[in-house]
Amino acid sequence: MGLGTWYDRVILPKVISLGCSSEDVDELRREVVPLAKGAVFELGCGGGFNQQHYDAAAVTSFAGIDPNASLLEAVRARAREKGWEADIREGVGEAIPFGDGAFDTVVCTYTLCSVDDPAKVLSEMRRVLKPGGRLLFLEHGKAPDPGPAKWQRRIEPVWKHMVGNCHLTREVGGTIRKAGFEIEPIGQTYFDKAPKWAGWMEWGVARRAGV
């Protein structure tokens, strides 16, 4: 096993878990995830960070994908505990393995920063949403202020190799709108406990434009 492979398998999951399970992040999840209802699809479900925040009574079925197959059985077990009909598979957002208009809600939290092709992933999420369905998003990305944005550009080349292809300079709201969504923002802010180059957050509800 090479050093890079060892890092990806042993260290990287711990780094991601530490960042994605902080209390500050969890507070934002509580503003977004409980809005999910009906047939729900979650992109990047393997970490299980959102599971405790779903309103089980509002969810009729749950589906999800994650590229890390080793994480999926734990997610399946949590879904069974909630009594959900669940279909959880290994996969990537650029090729979501579900049919057109299959879901009432798509949930995407801290995932668009690390996918290979955000535009393709958003196109896929738009495809699997029913007319009138909602994309619930919570993401970090490009800071709106010149100073932090400059540092993001400088740090990103190293950062993305250390933190699972996580990009700092990707726009959140702008990218979602370009993919054919209309956004109802819930909030946006810098985290007080993070440097501004790493702490710009946006979260809200998006619907397919023109539907």
CATH number at residue 121: 3.40.50.150
Predicted local distance difference test score (pLDDT) of residue 6: 47
DSSP three-state, residue 51? helix
**147 is written with which tokens?**
């100073």
**7 is written with which tokens?**
């890092």
Distance CA 34, CA 56 (A): 9
Predicted local distance difference test score (pLDDT) of residue 205: 98
Number of domains in the chain: 1
Provide φ and ψ at 132, rounded to 5°.
Answer: 85, -5
64, amino acid identity: G
| Domain around 9 | 3-208
Total residue length of the chain: 211
CB contact at 8 A, 172 and 112: yes
Q: In the chain, which residues have pLDDT < 50?
A: 3-4, 6-7, 10-11
Helices (H), the chain: 3-6, 12-20, 23-32, 72-81, 118-128, 146-162, 173-178
The pLDDT tens digits for 107-158 are 999 999 999 999 999 999 999 999 999 999 999 999 999 999 999 999 999 9
| Residues paired with residue 199 on neighbouring β-strands, in sequence order | none
